[in-house]
Structure 1
């Protein structure tokens, strides 16, 4: 692994204790709710926050004993923090200059990076004359121009509008694929994490609660936060073969398990009925509609009862069933769309 770290940062009412390993060429995204410790971890790696304990080793060299300016790290901040009095070229040349390059060599390196990010014609522009997407690309070029071994990205697309974000995300993915060092990305956007990262590390209350590839995390969430992030209903239950009991509800599942399990299913897999449908009582329960809201092209129905779930239905179904808050309703989910895995 290029990066091997254990980050311990203690504050009066918060403790971060995070183990982190990132291989060369790998992009790891840190995800978690507000206050989980993501940005604290990133700033600790950069040397902007002092460690209470632990270590940071990069390519076998301890970084935690080095001052910030001596660490082979490039960082892109959420607001980019470009120097307003410098041109795009001199902003990018700043890193090489700090590492001892002559002015001419630093500018040549900067010009090369501006060409790579498609901004050669804007080399003389000050930050105030750049669009949000252009400023983001200058910030990325500045971070990479000094030849770092570790790249840190703090919400790198958050300041962009939706249209620009789509384009810049694609460009950023390409540049990260070409970077041979380790990359740590902090984001609140699950799509950004899924598209850009090779591996996700989910933090809650300063500790890791789940990690894996985007596909692994999306298929098998282990906390309510992760389930909401990937758009699944998640419950804890007890398995006995292909049956799982959650509260008063009995579910049939495809997996053959025993003991404590997680049960997950999509809101789109939940079917609603005004009266109790005929057939098996499994995967079926009565609930109360707590709320109704627009959700993309569909309508999300929040249900409470034996278990609380979200159901996604079409606007036509809302009209046909005459759904209203406070109404009693029957909910069911197919066994083939209900998945259980060990808790």
Structure 2
């Protein structure tokens, strides 16, 4: 276990520092019940499909949605009854929500002014933050004159200028184009690495989560289904959503030594020696496709499938297959052409046991 992981496990409960929350929100038929803790200096990403409750959780932390139950403590202080504007919380919204009539400098100075700083003090602090963000030349610019990346950095500076003990980031890179997103992600990672309090990030993008967060908390249907380090989540997905997120084929079944009988499906041969309920995962790139049943293949796993869809996936073609074992397979454009792949075509899929990964369910 790394020092960061030890801190994440030990800090909130043991020292009273950081975030210690159980967010219970009931809205109509939907119920959110999410325990969430984080140590100072830790970045936690909330992931999940649309409607899972990520944004509701973030708004509850900000005080914009009242809790129906549970608790919310930050550095040992109860926040449930604290007004949103009085909480030591900074928020960066997806659309930035900069004040259109204020310059970049005055947008950043707004928070400190609300917290009692003089105009001169607030503007001096804001100038320092803009310099740290590489935006000194744009201090006098109104938001409409800023690019998306510049506006995002002004919004981050505005959130950090009040020295919050909890920083909330709501899809902070979603409105950026691909090139700008790459640059701003790297800058955001740098600033979060220097942030000494707790940061909670909501994102749909697994790359944002993997790059920016120390720990991932995956929410589905209002509850936590898995949490851990990015590498652990990527290697041991426990739901179809997570498997799709990290790009793996995932199955649940019953293991008998090196053979896993998939629930409602065929057997998969693995290298792990296990007994009992397990998950089996393998990447789409581990799948080899054949138009005719292969003979003399070294692969222990062989299934007859039908192509139901094809789509471009990066620089490859991803085939969506159904049949004995529904799965996704990645292959080059040339390989797809040589196989004459098209929806409705019958293919044989093989996967070597060494390319599968089985782990207890």
Scaled to the shorter chain, the TM-score interval is over 0.9
Gaps of 5+ in 2: 1-11, 13-17
Distance across 1 between alignment mates of 2:292 and 2:143? 62
Which of 65, 74, 85 matches 2:81?
65
| Offset at residue 326 of structure 1 (A) | 1.1
Quick check: 117-126 or 143-152, which moved more? 117-126
Counterpart residue number, 2:26? 10
Distance 1:114 1:331 in 2: 55
Q: For 2:286, which of 266, 269, 272 is the aligned residue?
A: 269
Q: Residues of 1 paired with 2:269 and 2:313: CA distance?
A: 28
Tell me the distance in 2 between the aligned counterparts of 1:70 and 1:339. Answer: 49
> Which of 68, 86, 92 lines up with 2:108 in the alignment?
92
Q: Partners in 1 of 2:96 and 2:344 — Cα distance?
A: 47
1:318 aligns with 2:330: no
Residue of 45, 50, 55 corresponding to 1:39: 55
Residue 276 of structure 1 aligns to a residue in which SS?
A: coil
Task: Report the count of equivalent residues.
Answer: 343
Please tell me the root mean square deviation across aligned C-alpha atoms, in Å: 1.1
Alpha-carbon offset, residue 180 of structure 1: 0.1
Q: How does 1:58-137 map to 2 (within 5 A)?
A: 58-137=74-153
- 3-state SS of paired residue (1:137): helix
Q: How does 1:169-188 map to 2 (within 5 A)?
A: 169-188=185-204
- Tell me: CA distance 1:281–1:75, structure 2 relative to 1, closer, same or farther (3 Å): closer
Work out which of the residue numbers 266, 273, 278 in structure 2 matches 1:256: 273
Matches of 1:123 and 1:273, distance apart in 2: 60
**Worse overlay, 250-259 or 86-95:** 250-259
Point out where structure 1 has 5 or more consecutive residues left out of the alignment.
none
Q: C-alpha distance in 2, partners of 1:122/1:324?
A: 53
Asked whether the equivalents of residues 249 and 282 of structure 1 are also in contact (C-alpha less than 8 Å), the reply is no
The 2-side partners of 1:85 and 1:276 are apart by 68
Measured after TM superposition, the shift of residue 249 of structure 1 is: 2.2
**Cα distance in 2, alignment partners of residues 205 and 248 from structure 1:** 26
- On the 8 A contact 2:299/2:353 being kept in 1, the answer is no
1:214 is the counterpart of 2:255: no
Q: Deviations over 1:183-220 (max 9, x none)?
A: 00000111000000000000001000111000000001
Query: Aligned partners of 1:114 and 1:294: how far apart in 2?
Result: 40
Cα distance in 2, alignment partners of residues 127 and 323 from structure 1: 49
1:281 Cα deviation (Å)? 7.8
- TM (norm. structure 2) is 0.93
User: Paired residue for 1:333?
Assistant: 351
